[in-house]
């Protein structure tokens, strides 16, 4: 009789252990992720969870942010992605950040300008995924004296990433009017 009770208890524990082992729990790789602006946010459960391949097949990835208009990626911001099974749910925070500085396009090392005139900022351009503003630090340039001067072109995007490049501005000699 005692042997049968012992066998019964052992059987119950064995079943509990086996059932408990098959109830895999979601295991997050991280609570939060950072994605560089310009990249899509993954809709694949395996990018967020450490679980078995079989378990991952039943995970639904929900609440993905919408992409910006006419783009393949969402805007800079904070998002919460929801991972679900029939009886489990996890939330992952995803931050989209812009950390890449603009890149200058066709920037020359030197620019020649006429005596007494200012350099036109429209000569400079930069590419970036967000709106970029170009400025020029020409505080060391004397536009009323011919010579070669150092200046710095600055491209700054909406996330305050900036690129700087030194250039030379050559102020041409003053044209003398030789009429009597």
Q: Residue 35, Cα to own-chain centre: how many angstroms?
A: 5
Using CA of residue 164, residue 74, residue 57, residue 16, what is the dihedral sign?
positive
- Any idea what DSSP says for residue 52? -
Please give the Cα distance from 113 to 120 (Å, whole number). Answer: 9
Q: Is residue 5, in this structure, part of any structural domain at all?
A: no
Same domain, 63 and 83: yes
Long-range CB pairs of 57-61 (<8 Å, 24+ gap) are: 58/85, 58/86, 59/26, 59/83, 59/84, 59/85, 60/84, 60/85
Task: Quote the pTM value.
Answer: 0.74
Please give the Cα distance from 73 to 130 (Å, whole number). Answer: 12
In CATH, what number is assigned to the domain containing residue 159?
Answer: 2.60.40.10
Residues in the chain: 180
Same domain, 59 and 27: yes
End-to-end CA distance of the chain: 134
Number of domains making up the chain: 2
Residue 135 domain boundaries: 103-171
User: What is the token pair recorded at 143?
Assistant: 């536009």
Same domain, 93 and 115: no
What is the per-residue pLDDT across 61-103, written as a single tens digit (0 to 9) for each? 999 999 999 999 999 999 999 999 989 999 999 999 999 999 9
| Residue ending a domain, choose from 43, 62, 97 | 97
What is the per-residue pLDDT across 128-174, written as a single tens digit (0 to 9) for each? 999 999 999 999 999 999 999 999 999 999 999 999 999 999 999 98
């Amino acid at each position: 009789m005692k042997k049968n009770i012992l066998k019964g208890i052992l059987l119950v524990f064995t079943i509990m252990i086996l059932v408990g082992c098959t109830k895999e729990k979601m295991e997050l790789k991280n609570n939060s992720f950072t994605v560089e602006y310009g990249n899509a946010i993954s809709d694949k459960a395996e990018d967020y969870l450490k679980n078995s391949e079989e378990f991952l097949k039943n995970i639904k990835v929900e609440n993905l942010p919408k992409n910006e208009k006419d783009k393949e990626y969402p805007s800079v911001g904070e998002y919460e992605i929801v991972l679900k099974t029939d009886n489990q749910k996890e939330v992952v925070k995803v931050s989209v950040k812009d950390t890449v500085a603009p890149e200058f396009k066709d920037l020359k090392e030197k620019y020649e300008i006429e005596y007494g005139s200012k350099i036109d900022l429209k000569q400079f351009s930069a590419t970036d995924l967000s709106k970029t503003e170009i400025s020029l630090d020409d505080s060391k340039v004397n536009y009323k004296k011919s010579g070669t001067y150092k200046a710095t072109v600055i491209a700054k995007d909406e996330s305050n990433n900036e690129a700087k490049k030194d250039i030379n501005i050559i102020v041409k000699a003053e044209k003398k009017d030789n009429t009597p």
